[in-house]
Amino acid sequence: MIKSEAEIYQILEELLRAAGNTPQTCVDLHDDPRVRALAPSPNRVSDYLGHMWRRGLVQRWYASKETAQRSRYAYTWIDQPEEKPEPVSRLTVPQRKAAPEKPNVTVVEDDGSITLDFKEFTITVKRK
């Protein structure tokens, strides 16, 4: 979003929206008398369009080489979905999950070995 209230941005937006899906170069836009009154040259219009592109408001395309213009890029307006505030759902405290069961282990220490007896298997560790 451009935070500037400059009239040039509003006019460029209006012209790009009116063009629809037809890419417009800075020279095309500078032909409009309202733009020409606010921007001294197509280069300055290009600066404004570059700023709008960096803000994600316009899509940039390579300009056609078939025209007599020397513009590198052409631009189309990106329709932005209107941001509607979403209602915040009622806050709830997350429920604690039950603690996982500890494995039942029986540990038996003999003189030279340790035996770990689990539910499904047994491990015996012997000293060398």
The average confidence (pLDDT) of the chain is 85
What is the helix (H) or strand (E) element at residue 7, kind and residue range? helix 7-19
> Is the pLDDT reported for residue 102 higher than 70?
no
Cβ-contact 18, 29 below 8 angstroms: no
| CA–CA separation, 57 and 47 (whole Å) | 14
Cβ-contact 32, 10 below 8 angstroms: no
| CA–CA separation, 113 and 124 (whole Å) | 7
pTM: 0.60
Q: What is the DSSP letter of 21?
A: T
The predicted structure's pLDDT at residue 103: 67
43-65 average pLDDT score: 90
